[in-house]
A and B are shown apart, each in its own frame.
Chain A
Amino acid sequence: EVQLLESGGGLVQPGGSLRLSCVASASTFNNFVMNWVRQTPGKGLQWVSAVTGSGTSTRYADSVKGRFTVSRDNSRNTVYLQMNSLRVEDTAIYYCAKIAVGGTTDFDHWGQGTLVTVSS
């Protein structure tokens, strides 16, 4: 069973930066496509970003493109989300989630989430 544990959330002012981390308990971590999905009370679930197992390919939702950067360190079983130029509307619980092998939208493991609040 894969366990995912996020950290790094907190309160930040608009325009500020934050880096989220997600550690996985799996020896085959480098086989996983890892994603970040966020949840706001008003808009439900929103996919944010994905990174392939090797880390060489990344994708982003249009709403965060150019501001967020996803990366991973397979030696540490960790995926990161660097969030810059944060906006009030980025306030959400951020989950890291693993895609099932061969899948595209089947997030079969989720972390517990970390809360990001963007407010002055």
Chain B
Amino acid sequence: QSLLTQPPSASGTPGQRVTMSCSAGSSNFGTSWVFWYQQLPGAAPKLLIYRTDQRPSGVPDRFSGSKSGTSASLSISGLRSEDEADYYCATWSDSLRGPVFGGGTKLTVL
């Protein structure tokens, strides 16, 4: 069972803004950074957001990350068909001494 909980699915129409959540349950993200990965069908994951709200070079500013207390969020504005993918949140776990991933959210662009 993942320490990070994500809704299994989300959807939106082109041009819409979609927000996906990542919950740390009873734990608090505290000072831990949150990371987001995008996995297109048949491809390896790709780093989308690092250190909670930073975008790597080449990631459009349509993608944004935030966190508050026990929850983190990934928002996509101006939704496009090519955004249809699985999205995973991740953070460092001191107890496990390693990174942990959420179960992923499958985003469908209607």
**Contact surface of A with B, Cβ cutoff 8 Å:** 35, 37, 43-47, 50, 59, 61-62, 95, 100, 103-108, 110-113
Closest residue of A by beta carbon distance from B54: A106
Q: How far is the CA of A50 from the CA of B2 in the complex (A)?
A: 19
Q: Which residues of A contact B91 (CB under 8 A)?
A: 105
For the complex, is B96 an interface residue (Cβ under 8 Å from A)?
yes
Q: CB distance A95 to B44 under 8 Å?
A: yes
Q: CB distance A110 to B46 under 8 Å?
A: yes
Partner of B101, one of A47, A59, A108, A112: A47
Partner of B96, one of A43, A61, A107, A111: A61
Q: CB distance A105 to B44 under 8 Å?
A: no
Closest residue of A by beta carbon distance from B86: A44
Q: How far is the CA of A51 from the CA of B48 in the complex (A)?
A: 23
Q: Which residues of B contact A100 (CB under 8 A)?
A: 47, 50
- Nearest Cβ distance between residue B38 and chain A, in whole angstroms? 11
- Nearest Cβ distance between residue A83 and chain B, in whole angstroms? 17
Q: CB distance B104 to A50 under 8 Å?
A: no
Q: CB distance B44 to A106 under 8 Å?
A: no
- Interface residues in B76-103 by Cβ distance below 8 A to A read 88, 90-92, 96-103
Q: CB distance B99 to A47 under 8 Å?
A: yes
Closest residue of B by beta carbon distance from A35: B99
Q: CB distance B92 to A105 under 8 Å?
A: yes
- Nearest Cβ distance between residue A100 and chain B, in whole angstroms? 7
Q: CB distance B98 to A45 under 8 Å?
A: no
- Nearest Cβ distance between residue A59 and chain B, in whole angstroms? 6
A47, A59, A62, A108: which has the most chain B beta carbons within 10 Å? Answer: A47
Q: CB distance A45 to B44 under 8 Å?
A: no
A-B CB contact pairs (8 Å), 28 listed: A37-B45, A43-B2, A44-B88, A44-B101, A44-B102, A44-B104, A45-B45, A45-B88, A45-B90, A45-B104, A46-B101, A47-B98, A47-B101, A50-B98, A59-B97, A61-B98, A62-B96, A100-B50, A104-B92, A105-B91, A105-B99, A106-B47, A106-B51, A107-B47, A108-B47, A110-B45, A111-B44, A112-B44
- Nearest Cβ distance between residue B79 and chain A, in whole angstroms? 23
Q: How far is the CA of A110 from the CA of B51 in the complex (A)?
A: 18
